[in-house]
Amino acid sequence: QGCAPSESPSTGLFFDISLAQWSLHKTFFGASMYNGWQSLNEIKRNDPSNVIQGRNPLEFASIARNEFGIDAIEYVTQFYPNTKGVGDAHIKELKQRSDNEGIRNVLVMVDDEGALGDPDENARLTAVQNHYKWIDIATYLGCHSVRVNAESSGTWDEQKELAMDGLGRLSEYAAKQDINVIVENHGGLSSNGEWLSSVISGVGLDNCGTLPDFGNFRISPEEAVEEVLYDPYKGVEELMPYAKGVSAKSNDFDELGNEVNLDYERILTIVKDAGYTGYIGIEYEGDRLSEADGVQATLELLKTAGKKVTEAT
């Protein structure tokens, strides 16, 4: 990224803006979420091919371009169940539609393919192999990265070694296609910036990096009553040296358009100071605003806060 211009020609900012498909998860899952996550997870377990009960996820490129004026997108594999590989008709249609809209396909976020840090070696190797098809698909779509999860169990050091093994194996496969394997802070130890940065450093491969998410710094277990959070500013700063992408998480906004939980100017300054000039993906997850309004609010905030940070010396 060192040869990239100091300002993006498309935005006038130090970064480009993309849209993460997860921002529209209620739009695509539709009636599958009639009882929130509980009903969605039940359908995923019992009838995964019927999980899409809203808008057609194949329309994502058109939605980004025509409803938000965004020309770069990040796919989420949860919206494409039963994907077998790069030859699938719906994968070819994604490529065709994005080409037709003049959309840049940035990355693919991969979920539900097994734990890359599984303590069971056979399960870990199976998880690695399950991800191969998404590396191939990312290449076909013209993406630069796949986002994966460093899911594991055990002690700090045990999970580190296991995650390094799975990530290293997958990154070696991806390197043959010039694809990056990037890990998001996404729960468990991966939401601890110190742990995740040590894992990536330990893998030691140029194409194995991070996708710092402004949110997602909950380090307490999901079932825990008390929510324990890792400092998001510290976490992003620790993950930025390895960043190949960045996720702008948002949940709600005040009357001035600022995110209520995060100081966007402060966090974008950390991103800029790391020398990052790539895409920042909008990932709205709030409930008060509609998904469309939340995406629009995040887009406006990225532009206004980004302009101030870009112009600051």
Q: Do residues 75 and 22 touch, judged by C-beta distance below 8 A?
A: no
Which segment of 81-90, 220-229, 232-241 scores lowest on mean pLDDT?
A: 220-229
The reported pLDDT for the residue numbered 219 is 87
Q: pLDDT for 117-131, tens place per residue?
A: 999 999 999 999 999
**pLDDT above 90 (res 311):** yes
pLDDT exceeding 70 applies to what percent of the chain?
A: 96
Q: Do residues 301 and 257 touch, judged by C-beta distance below 8 A?
A: yes
Residue 270 within any structural domain of the chain: yes
Q: Do residues 210 and 147 touch, judged by C-beta distance below 8 A?
A: no
Span 27-51, average pLDDT: 95
Span 253-263, average pLDDT: 98
Distances (CA, A) of 175 to 96, 163, 167, 180, 236: 25, 18, 12, 7, 25
Q: pLDDT for 86-101, tens place per residue?
A: 999 999 999 999 999 9
| Mean of all residue pLDDT scores within the chain | 95
Gyration radius from the chain CA atoms? 18
Q: pLDDT for 131-170, tens place per residue?
A: 999 999 999 999 999 999 999 999 999 999 999 999 999 9
Q: Do residues 117 and 159 touch, judged by C-beta distance below 8 A?
A: yes
pLDDT exceeding 90 applies to what percent of the chain?
A: 92
- pLDDT-based confidence at residue 8 (cuts at 50, 70, 90): low
**pLDDT above 80 (res 1):** no
Q: Do residues 108 and 141 touch, judged by C-beta distance below 8 A?
A: yes
State the Cα torsion 291-296-297-300 to the nearest 10°: 160
CA–CA separation, 60 and 47 (whole Å): 23
Return the DSSP state at 213.
Answer: B
Residue 97 within any structural domain of the chain: yes
Distances (CA, A) of 9 to 5, 6, 277, 313: 8, 9, 12, 19
Residue 173 within any structural domain of the chain: yes
Q: Do residues 181 and 143 touch, judged by C-beta distance below 8 A?
A: no
Three-class secondary structure of residue 250 per DSSP? strand
pTM for this structure?
0.95
**pLDDT above 90 (res 5):** no
> What residues make up the domain containing 134?
61-311
Phi, psi of 35 (to 5 degrees): -120, 40
**Lookup: tokens for 54:** 């809203």
Span 270-294, average pLDDT: 98
Span 247-267, average pLDDT: 98
Q: Which amino acid appears at position 297 of this protein?
A: A
The reported pLDDT for the residue numbered 10 is 61
Three-class secondary structure of residue 169 per DSSP? helix
Residue 213 within any structural domain of the chain: yes
Q: Do residues 167 and 128 touch, judged by C-beta distance below 8 A?
A: no
Residue 248 within any structural domain of the chain: yes
Residue 292 within any structural domain of the chain: yes
Span 254-265, average pLDDT: 98
Q: Do residues 38 and 89 touch, judged by C-beta distance below 8 A?
A: no
Span 206-217, average pLDDT: 97
CATH of the domain at 153: 3.20.20.150
The reported pLDDT for the residue numbered 6 is 53
Span 237-256, average pLDDT: 98
Residue 49 within any structural domain of the chain: no
Number of folded domains in the chain?
A: 1
SS3 content of the chain, % helix, strand, coil (to 5): 50, 15, 35
**pLDDT above 60 (res 13):** yes
Return the DSSP state at 300.
Answer: H
- pLDDT-based confidence at residue 78 (cuts at 50, 70, 90): very high
Q: Is 287 exposed, middle or buried (0-12, 13-18, 19+ CB in 10 A)?
A: exposed
**Lookup: tokens for 99:** 């080409």
Residue 55 within any structural domain of the chain: no
The reported pLDDT for the residue numbered 276 is 98
The reported pLDDT for the residue numbered 223 is 81
The reported pLDDT for the residue numbered 99 is 98
Three-class secondary structure of residue 113 per DSSP? coil
Span 251-267, average pLDDT: 98
The reported pLDDT for the residue numbered 9 is 56
- pLDDT-based confidence at residue 3 (cuts at 50, 70, 90): very low
